[in-house]
Structure 1
Amino acid sequence: MAAEIYKHKAYPSTKNILMAAEALVRKYPCLKEKGSGTGYEGWKNSLRFKMGNYRTKLSRAGIKDVAVNAGKRSRTNPEGAASRAKIKRPRRGEINFMPNYPQGETKDTLENLRLEMVEQFKKTVTDRDMIIIHQHMQRTFALRREEIVNSAPPIAELKDRWPALFCEAQLYSEFHRITNQNLLYSFYAALDKYTPQLLKLYKKRKTGSFGEKMEDVLREYEEQVQTFLKH
């Protein structure tokens, strides 16, 4: 059960655990607890502990998305941070939060690929091998996520170490690697969704410098719409 929950979330919330416990007794009514108001209160507590134990096993096995939180306070590490202090976990939309290194790769081999990319960016734009850069960016994704999640480096340092990340094409690619979504498509879809509401809001603001600027923008917008409709 813990393994199935982990497939969805490494750190499920209390609500998530509650839903899992409810689903468990719904599918297997014989497991419903007698004398319990919900029939699954005990299962909720059991699943919470099972998830903790399962994460510990994965952490010891080197699974990075849980190993990143190793070293918390325990009997063997009384000086560590509180067990639930600053837990590093995926944010909304982060499908690939902290993947393991590709098979056959180590931190050293991936670091060599990173250095090769840095050397590529010392060349002129026309001389850079963008195919190699893209391949290396794909290959070093796990190393990059490890650095960002663990160290949260300043932008300037990140730009020095991963210059390709600040190219438009690789920015889109990195967004896709993390969220498994197309950035441009998501942006334009959201823009289409909210544009009518934004236009209504802007049309109401007719005073002040902002109103004057928006009046010019809206005039150009109306002209573009009319031109489009004519064709």
Structure 2
Amino acid sequence: MGNYRAKLSRAGFQEVAVNSARSRNNTDKQSLERSDCSPFVVCVEFHRVTNINLQNQFYAELDRHTPRFMALYRQKAARTGKISEALRNILNHYDLQEAPDVNVKRTAVLHALTVYLREEDPDFFKTCNADTLDETNLTDTPVGLLTVVADGSAQTSTVHFSPSSMAVVVEGDLVMRDIPRFSDAYALLFGLIYALHLDYPRKLVHTFTFVQKVFMGLDDGKPLKPSLHALKTDLLLKE
């Protein structure tokens, strides 16, 4: 990953610079805990760099492809193998939701996308209980999404469709917290990484590249990997 803290600090995200100072001076805890890394700042910076509205573009493409994504996931889940089993677990949990709304669908699609692309990073998708949020050990998390649950179910499932809140983790720090939905946090993390020209999570490069090129339409001039190109083609086919 490298240089997350320095780049965030240079871009004006004060929480990272503040956390760096804690070990040197902890006399003003209240001011040290102030965070200026807000969703608004991320969206503004992303628009400045790309001239694209981060959330509008992300949700429009995600929602447009959701029916086809779900069909592809179910086709894959009906087969045998580790990937199919992991998809079945997500879809079975999704099917238990009563009248799933758009946010539940977005959560299912985004969680399953990583599995479908044969990527896995347990240090990226983290979960904790609300009453232990401030004690959660994130030192081994260079970048990730933290799902905060209120019902003590942090260890019972890897996918939570109605979290208490979400947080974005960078180099072990909660740089954004109290985000209402999983898909919101996902979009904000992508926007943060892209706007600051940071490396994608090493174990999720295909996932984030797909989001960049297919969801956001941000081409870097490099051809898609065969697996990503195949998924893009499958999404455009009629069911």
- Flag whether TM exceeds 0.5 (same fold): no
Greater strand content: 2
TM-score (norm 2): 0.27
In our comparison, the structure showing a higher alpha carbon Rg is: 1
